[in-house]
């Protein structure tokens, strides 16, 4: 691509930084060697994607809708080719499972996805384990996608396209993960907190009642309570006896 045309595309995208332009030009040169499989891209669309990648690396914000329109591709094709080129150039950001789950709003599937990846690695031959990097977006995304499907968690279908891999490869990997981890979602079911109301208030009430009973004067079983009228009569007879005794002493 002519340098003048490349600069014109960059200007339309709002890119004026020399660093971003130089980085994008380097990506264009690398594409001629590493991205030969992307035959459905025009010179213009490749240049736009390279500018987009360079701007992303330099943390320069772009109007993504306008960038897609400028590339001459539809949104789905642009995103797919962007991710493919990103992978081929070694620019993909290896997001961890949790970061990826936060991005797609499915953090509850992280544990199951991690278990699936571990079992997948254990199933591989020793020689193959050294060549497979399970931190790559293809593996982490497939594991999280499969875990969400297993747990019946609704997830954005764009997750699969974000890996940059062909859909057939992604689907086959998901099938392998699902077969290896088919018991994962049924394992380790969290124990739900008991909804039975605590009996502490009743215990406190019983304590209060016990204290009230202890404060009351105790009545011996050998001393039955007397009738009010009988009690009055007994008191009168006692008073009368004392008066007579005092009168006799006085004589």
Do 204 and 212 meet the contact criterion of CB atoms below 8 Å apart? no
Average pLDDT over residues 1-20: 87
Which of these, 109, 121, 189, lies nearest to 149 by C-alpha position?
109
Q: In angstroms, rounded to a whole number, what is the distance separating the alpha carbons of residues 245 and 65?
A: 121
Query: What pLDDT, on a 0 to 100 scale, did the predictor assign at position 250?
Result: 62
Residue 91 has pLDDT above 50, yes or no: yes
Pick the CATH number of 97-186 from 1.10.150.310, 1.10.472.10, 1.10.540.10, 2.60.40.10: 1.10.472.10
Per-residue pLDDT tens digits for 195-249: 444 444 344 344 434 544 444 444 444 444 455 555 555 566 776 677 777 766 6
Average pLDDT over residues 179-184: 77
Residue, of 199 and 85, whose pLDDT is higher: 85
Per-residue pLDDT tens digits for 12-46: 999 999 999 999 999 999 888 887 777 778 889 99
Do 173 and 194 meet the contact criterion of CB atoms below 8 Å apart? no
Position of tokens 């936060």?
Answer: 102
Per-residue pLDDT tens digits for 59-80: 888 898 999 999 999 988 888 8
Confidence of residue 102 (pLDDT cuts 50, 70, 90): confident
- Integer-rounded Cα Rg, in Å, for the chain is 42
Residue 99's H or E segment, with its range, is: helix 97-104
Assign a CATH topology to domain 3-88: Cyclin A; domain 1 (1.10.472)
Residue, of 137 and 70, whose pLDDT is higher: 70
Q: In angstroms, rounded to a whole number, what is the distance separating the alpha carbons of residues 153 and 189?
A: 16
Cα 60-88-141 angle, rounded to 5 deg: 80
- Please give the model's pTM, rounded to 2 decimal places: 0.44
Query: What pLDDT, on a 0 to 100 scale, did the predictor assign at position 187?
Result: 61
Per-residue pLDDT tens digits for 139-162: 888 999 999 988 888 887 777 776
User: CA torsion 180→115→143→190, rounded to 10°?
Assistant: 110
Do 34 and 89 meet the contact criterion of CB atoms below 8 Å apart? yes
Per-residue pLDDT tens digits for 116-135: 888 888 888 887 877 777 87
Say whether 97-186 and 3-88 share the same fold: yes
Residue 196's H or E segment, with its range, is: none
Residue, of 51 and 160, whose pLDDT is higher: 51
- Buried b vs exposed e over 115-150: b needs ≥16 C-beta within 10 Å? bbbebbeeeeeeeeeeeeeeeebbbbbbbbbbbbbb
Q: What ranges do the domains of the chain cover?
A: 3-88, 97-186
Query: What pLDDT, on a 0 to 100 scale, did the predictor assign at position 81?
Result: 84
Q: In angstroms, rounded to a whole number, what is the distance separating the alpha carbons of residues 72 and 61?
A: 20
Per-residue pLDDT tens digits for 183-195: 777 664 433 333 4
């Amino acid at each position: 691509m002519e340098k003048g045309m490349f600069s014109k595309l960059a200007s339309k995208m709002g890119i004026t930084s020399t660093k971003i332009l130089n980085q994008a030009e380097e990506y264009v040169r690398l594409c001629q060697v590493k991205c030969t499989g992307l035959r459905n891209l025009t010179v213009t669309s490749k240049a736009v994607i390279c500018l987009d990648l360079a701007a992303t690396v330099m943390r320069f914000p772009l109007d993504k809708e306008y960038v897609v329109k400028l590339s001459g591709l539809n949104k789905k094709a642009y995103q797919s080719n962007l991710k493919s080129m990103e992978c081929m150039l070694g620019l993909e950001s290896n997001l961890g499972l949790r970061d990826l789950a936060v991005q797609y709003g499915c953090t509850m599937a992280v544990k199951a996805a991690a278990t699936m990846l571990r079992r997948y690695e254990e199933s591989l031959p020793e020689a193959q384990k050294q060549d497979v990097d399970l931190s790559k977006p293809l593996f982490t995304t497939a594991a999280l996608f499969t875990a969400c499907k297993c747990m019946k968690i609704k997830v954005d279908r764009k997750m699969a396209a974000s890996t940059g891999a062909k859909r057939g490869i992604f689907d086959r990997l998901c099938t392998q993960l699902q077969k290896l981890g088919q018991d994962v979602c049924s394992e380790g079911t969290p124990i739900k907190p008991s909804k039975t109301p605590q009996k502490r208030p009743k215990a406190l009430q019983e304590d209060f009642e016990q204290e009230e009973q202890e404060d009351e004067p105790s009545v011996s079983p050998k001393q039955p309570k007397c009738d009010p009228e009988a009690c009055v009569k007994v008191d009168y007879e006692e008073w009368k006896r004392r008066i007579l005794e005092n009168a006799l002493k006085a004589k």
